[in-house]
Structure 1
Amino acid sequence: MKTNRRNFLFGAAALLLAPALAGCQRRVPAALTTPLEIDARTTCDLDGMPLVDYPGPKAQLFYAGQSAPVYFCDTVELFHTLLAPEQVRTVAAVFVQDMGKTDWEQPRGHWFDASTGFYVLGSKRQGSMGPSIASFSRQADADTFVTQWGGRRLRYAEIKRDMVDLSGGALHDSKM
Structure 2
Amino acid sequence: MVVPPETEADLDRRTVLTAVGGGLVVGLAGCTGGGDDLPAAVTLDESQSCDQCGMVIQEHPGPTGQVFFEDHPDRDGPAWFCSGTCTYTYRSDRVAEDATPIVTYLTDYSEVDYTVEGDDQPAISAHLAAENYEVESALSVVANSEVIGSMGPDLIPFSDEADAESFAEEYGGEVLAATDVDRELVDSIKS
> TM-score when scaled to structure 1?
0.72
Tell me the percent identity. Answer: 25
Q: How many residues align?
A: 144
User: Are 1:159 and 2:159 matched, yes or no?
Assistant: no
Contact 2:67 2:80 in 1 (8 A): yes
Contact 1:30 1:94 in 2 (8 A): no
Farther off after superposition, 127-136 or 100-109: 100-109
Contact 1:80 1:166 in 2 (8 A): no
Q: Which residue of 2 aligns with 1:112?
A: 134
For residues 1-176 of structure 1, what are the structure 2 equivalents within 5 Å? 29=35, 31-66=37-72, 67-84=76-93, 86-102=96-112, 103=114, 104-109=124-129, 110-165=132-187, 168=190
Cα distance between partner residues in 2 of 1:88 and 1:73: 23
Unaligned runs of 5+ in 2: 1-29, 115-123
Cα distance between partner residues in 2 of 1:144 and 1:167: 20
Unaligned runs of 5+ in 1: 1-23, 170-176
CA RMSD across the alignment? 2.5
C-alpha displacement of 1:70: 0.4
> TM-score when scaled to structure 2?
0.67
SS in 2 for 1:100: coil
| Bigger Rg, which one | 2
C-alpha displacement of 1:154: 0.4
Contact 1:30 1:93 in 2 (8 A): no
Structure 1 runs, 4 residues or longer, greater than 4 Å off? 27-31
